[in-house]
Amino acid sequence: MSTTAPPPVAPPAASTAPTPPVVNAAIRAALGARRPEHRPGALSHAVTFAWRALIKIRHAPEQLFDVVVTPVMFTLLFTYIFGGALEGSPRTYLQFLLPGVLVQTVTFTTIYTGFTLNTDLSKGIFDRFRSMPLWLPAPIVGAMLGDTIRYTISSIIVFVIGFVLGYRPEAGLGSIVAALALLNVYAFGIGWLFTTFALLVKTPSTVMTLSWLVLMPLTFASNIYVSPDTMPGWLQAFVGVNPVALVTTAIRQTLDGEATMAAIGWALLAPAVVTAICAPLAMALYRRER
Amino acid sequence: MDPSAPLAIEAVGLVKCFGDTRAVDGLDLRVQAGTIYGMLGPNGAGKTTTVRLLATLLRPDAGKATVLGYDLAQEPEEIRRRISLTGQFATVDEDLTGAENLILLGRLLGLPKPKERAAELLGAFDLGETAKRQVKTYSGGQRRRLDVAASLLYTPDLLFLDEPTTGLDPRSRGEVWEIIRLLVAEGTTVLLTTQYLEEADQLAGRIVVVDHGRVIAEGTSAELKASVGTGVLRVRLDDADDRDRARALLAEAAGVTIHEEADPRALMAQVSDPDLAARALAALTAAGVGVSDFSLGQPSLDEVFFALTGHPADAATADAPPTR
């Protein structure tokens, strides 16, 4: 996808005072363009919508504020609050915590997908999209592709603050790239859940509330902050199947250079299941009239 | 209407309900290709819902329609390839610039050179200087011109314009009218909804008047006006207490039914003959009823409505369907 700016637009040929005859000549010249024979495919439509998401970020970079600030806050808070008590020192704890904070940050960022989509769908431009010959899921898939830029930015910020505090991945730079890729695939998959919420409910704040209700227990009843060894048995059982915990395990292993196919498979199972169920559901809801 | 000419839209018995509200209630429509067809009605009459049905955004609960020869239920994709929609609420992206909007849509439509085409249209629609500004900073007229330009990235066979000039100042309104006329000269069919009789009168070859989701009249502008009467006399009195007396005097002098308007000092009557109107006014003066204001003019949409339905136009707004 291209993030390049559109070229400067030529100044108008018409004078600034649009007396109808001037308008007429210029407009008449601009009319009569024929429908192109070649129609863009599904992928091209999705990429164009991802481009739309990116230029929206460029026009309002402040919308990345939470993507930037939240990871910094979480990393600092958890490292210094729990570090001494749990592992003897913040630095030692950070080595355990950082992969978990990555997952937590990206997981929370996926809510944004639903929130933005819900706001977007109520706008008149979607009437135009829906009256155009487009690949139907393109606006949604494109927006979700565009969101991977958020996941990547917030992940990189976690890594940077981690490095400043002394975190070092066992397996070096390559493992960071692999972890980023895994996180993006995971986030894209579970993003379908919040996309479905966005299409199901009326207001963005309801999307927010619903999403937190799902994510808070998943995030805290996990292995992100502590090893589940000291948890009661029933909670350990939950952590064992918690998708957030599974992806945390896979990310830890990846950064330690010990990733097994099994761990990655388990980590991607929930995103795959969510996609299989929610993507068709989201499409049906999107096709539904509004 | 020439019965042999091809129809761009042929709808029979369209029905669309939102909950208990029958927003479109058995609507028939025949729009000849290459013409401007006006759909006139107050808020909540079902105009927007009809446009959304025909533009494939909604599915009818009953009825059939063919748009550009394609079946609405069976071939929506073929229809989408050939139509454009400029909706009542800005169908452009407010967060993007004017140029980005047109480039985005041009790419989606597969134009060979979307950037060049965007620049060309922006220049033609006198938006060149605002091309790099976000649409949310545009004036109402600029936004509407961009919205129309966005529908013309390639020339559609059929253009839906849902209240294209609502809220525009007179100059911007005139510009939009010019654009619509030029477009039809290129062979495009335009279905235009409006609340303004004057707009339908200025642009449309044929006009359909809708109320409560049904067609209540159809014809050329001249035919519709003939059914209403050619003129409307409005009188505003100095004193509201004189209204009953004035009403009787006017009815006697003009020989027509006199209607009371919402304004407690105002009366209205359909009078086709200016001499008759003058005599009626003279009768008021002779009887010592003070007149602060009077006019004799074309019937407004309200009066068309009153004549056709027996109730004022704004009574229909109470049950406006949700627009989302």
When pLDDT is averaged across residues A90-104 and rounded to a whole number, the result is 92
Domain count, chain B: 2
- Cβ contacts (< 8 Å) between B104 and chain A: which residues? 48, 51-52
Is residue A23 situated within a structural domain?
Answer: no
Is residue B303 situated within a structural domain?
Answer: no
Q: Does B275 contact A at CB distance below 8 Å?
A: no
- The answer on pLDDT for A3 being more than 90 is no
Buried b or exposed e, range A207-236, using 16+ CB within 10 angstroms: bbebbeeebeebbebbbbbbebeeeeeeee
Contact A9 B122 (CB under 8 A): yes
- The answer on pLDDT for A7 being more than 60 is no
Q: Residue B274, Cβ neighbours under 10 Å: how many? A: 12
Residue B103: which of A6, A122, A132 has the nearest Cβ?
A6
By C-alpha distance, the chain B residue nearest A8 is B132
Is residue B321 situated within a structural domain?
Answer: no
Q: Which residues of chain B have pLDDT under 70?
A: 1-4, 228-230, 298-303, 305, 310-324
The string of pLDDT tens digits covering residues B132-188 is 999 999 998 899 999 999 999 999 999 999 999 888 888 888 888 988 998 898 889
Q: Residue A32, Cβ neighbours under 10 Å: how many? A: 13
Contact A36 B152 (CB under 8 A): no
Contact A124 B108 (CB under 8 A): no
- We report the CATH number of the domain holding residue B269 as 3.30.70.100
Interface subset of A 226-245, CB within 8 angstroms of B: none
Q: Does B19 contact A at CB distance below 8 Å?
A: no
Is residue A202 situated within a structural domain?
Answer: yes
CA distance B235 to chain A (A): 37
- We report the CATH number of the domain holding residue B91 as 3.40.50.300
**Predicted local distance difference test score (pLDDT) of residue B74:** 94
Q: What ipTM was predicted for this assembly?
A: 0.82
**Which of the listed residues B176, B209, B226 is the one where a domain comes to its end?**
B226
Residue A31: which of B55, B160, B183 has the nearest Cβ?
B183
Domain that holds residue B237: 231-297
Q: Does A123 contact B at CB distance below 8 Å?
A: yes
Contact A133 B126 (CB under 8 A): no
Q: Measure Cα distances from B100 to A6, B105, B114 in Å.
A: 7, 8, 10
Q: Measure Cα distances from A236 to A95, B107, B117 in Å.
A: 22, 51, 60
Q: Could you give the CA distance from residue B142 to residue B146 in angstroms, rounded to a whole number?
A: 6
Contact A59 B96 (CB under 8 A): yes
Is residue B31 situated within a structural domain?
Answer: yes
**Predicted local distance difference test score (pLDDT) of residue B264:** 87
Is residue A120 situated within a structural domain?
Answer: yes
- The answer on pLDDT for A14 being more than 60 is no
Interface test with A, best of B92, B126, B191 (most A CBs within 10 A): B126
By C-alpha distance, the chain A residue nearest B101 is A52
- The answer on pLDDT for A4 being more than 60 is no
Contact A12 B128 (CB under 8 A): yes
Q: Could you give the CA distance from residue B269 to residue A193 in angstroms, rounded to a whole number?
A: 62
The string of pLDDT tens digits covering residues B206-238 is 999 998 999 999 988 878 877 766 677 888 989
Q: Say whether both B153 and B176 belong to one domain.
A: yes
Mean pLDDT score of chain A: 87
Domain that holds residue A73: 41-287
**Predicted local distance difference test score (pLDDT) of residue A65:** 86
